[in-house]
Amino acid sequence: MWVLFFGALIIISITHWVHRWRNPRCNGTLPPGSMGLPLIGETLQFFAPSTSFDITPFVKERMERYGPIFRTNLVGRPVVVSTDPDLNHFIFQQEGQLFQSWYPDTFTEIFGRQNVGSLHGFMYKYLKNMVLNLFGPESLKKMLPEVEQTTSERLQLWSHQESVELKETTATMIFDLTAKKLISYDQDKSSENLRDSFVAFIQGLISFPLDIPGTAYHKCLQGRKKAMRMLKKQLQERRANPRKNRGDFFDYVLEELQEDRAILTEAIALDLMFVLLFASFETTSVALTLAVKFLSDNPLVLRKLTEEHDGILRNRVNNNSGLTWNEYKSMKFTFQVINETVRLANIVPGIFRKALRDIQFKGYTIPEGWAVMVCPPAVHLSPAIHEDPLAFNPWRWEGMELNGASKKFMAFGGGMRFCVGTEFTKVQMAVFLHCLVTKYRWQAIKGGNIVRTPGLQFPSGYHIQLMEKDKKCNSRNQIPVR
């Protein structure tokens, strides 16, 4: 009798819990949607791989079923997903008022509890100003010759190889340059390979958060721990042997740490270094690889781009001079190519915020404490916003000045958290394309297919053969030389 009673009580309790899970409390009308399975929500569907540039099936299917604003549950957290341009814009404009930056606990485990994305208010602004000292226009003007020299040297090296895997080689190139600027790191002079730690980190960055040996997520956490140990060791060595003149960003950080009333802590400084190293090379290398692939597949775009850069060389008084800041700023079609590349790439599948109070929007209520995911791909690939959205068409940006985010374009975020490294990314991409199209030809060898999980990856890489323009290709591959 008692067994039946307790059995019935357990069943009633579970049923009540499942009902509460599927029907969260709300002082208003929640957006339509499903909360998925108890505990894991719709996490498995969210991480399901896709091999298209189109909006991921997870988002697209729910848009068709529920509309542009819907609810779900990811890794046990209730989330409102926004594919609505108006709501996206509203969220970015209300940063710090109605919304604040937020990411799942798994992300904070990966990037650090005190990473710049998790900080708010004065501390965030303080760190943002620190980063602008490195990636702001005045610093980039001084860095431009070094970016061009590094790019030219790497391209020359690659031109002597039978095949180059573009994603990995560009990532290494950008990492080496950025690590030198940030912490004076030189792989040839170091006993440990910092880049390898980031490779392990990246492979599990956007994966199912299961911290068990052998899983991608576990390898990701181990990669972070190893990288952080190396950064902390370098910081301690620099403290023990300070330099008289500021040579890199680490020196600047040390100056801030040694202030009498220092705002910066060592933990925040190390998390900042880690995030800057990651953000500076991974997303840019993906974008560059896609740009070269798109150029290979679109001869008219390549011809127009080459004409622009050949024109820069013809207009120089001194043929042996390097790129100037004015020349960089004159690359109008190049910026159109970059904008179109990052629009289609959608390297960041979601931008997360948290509602600071109950918020009413278009008849729906976003409850206080709920996460909100802005979905840039749904805007970038919307046929209502962009004609033939899956086509690579740089001319769609003709005459547009994109100095920040808009309702139609948010590849670099928006609002007060608009990516401070945007100009650095554009400089690297523009300089790479300049050096590439003025001096080299290339042809695809193999790879180039993509998969989203939901982050963008090249499972087979993208292999090309690179050659100087006055030399012929010796490959047996019959793909026409560009």
User: Annotated binding residues for heme, as ranges?
Assistant: 419
- For the chain, what is the largest distance between any 2 Cα atoms, rounded to a whole number of angstroms? 98
Q: Residue 364's CB: how many other CB atoms inside 10 A?
A: 19
Q: Report the C-alpha gap between 327 and 306 in whole angstroms.
A: 14
Q: Taking a C-beta distance cutoff of 8 angstroms, is the pair 151, 432 a contact?
A: yes
94, exposed or middle or buried, with CB in 10 Å at 0-12, 13-18, 19+?
A: middle
Nearest partner of 405 among 150, 153, 164, 89, judged by Cα: 89
Q: Report the C-alpha gap between 264 and 282 in whole angstroms.
A: 26
Q: Report the C-alpha gap between 136 and 420 in whole angstroms.
A: 8
Q: Report the C-alpha gap between 288 and 168 in whole angstroms.
A: 11
Q: Report the C-alpha gap between 482 and 469 in whole angstroms.
A: 10
**Long-range pairs for 87-92: beta carbons < 8 A, 24 or more residues apart:** 87/361, 87/362, 88/374, 88/375, 88/376, 88/379, 88/407, 88/410, 88/414, 89/407, 89/414, 90/361, 91/353, 91/372, 91/374, 91/415, 92/374, 92/405, 92/410, 92/413, 92/414, 92/415, 92/417
Encoded tokens for 63 = 């848009």
Task: Name the binding residues.
Answer: 419
Phi first, then psi: give them for residue 208, nearest 5 degrees. -65, 130
Q: How far is CA 54 from CA 59, 353, 375, in A?
A: 10, 24, 13
378, exposed or middle or buried, with CB in 10 Å at 0-12, 13-18, 19+?
A: buried
Find where tokens 């068990």 sit.
Answer: 212
What burial letters (b/e) apply to 272-302, b meaning 16+ CB within 10 Å?
Answer: bbbbbbbbbbbbbbbbbbbbbbbbbebeebb
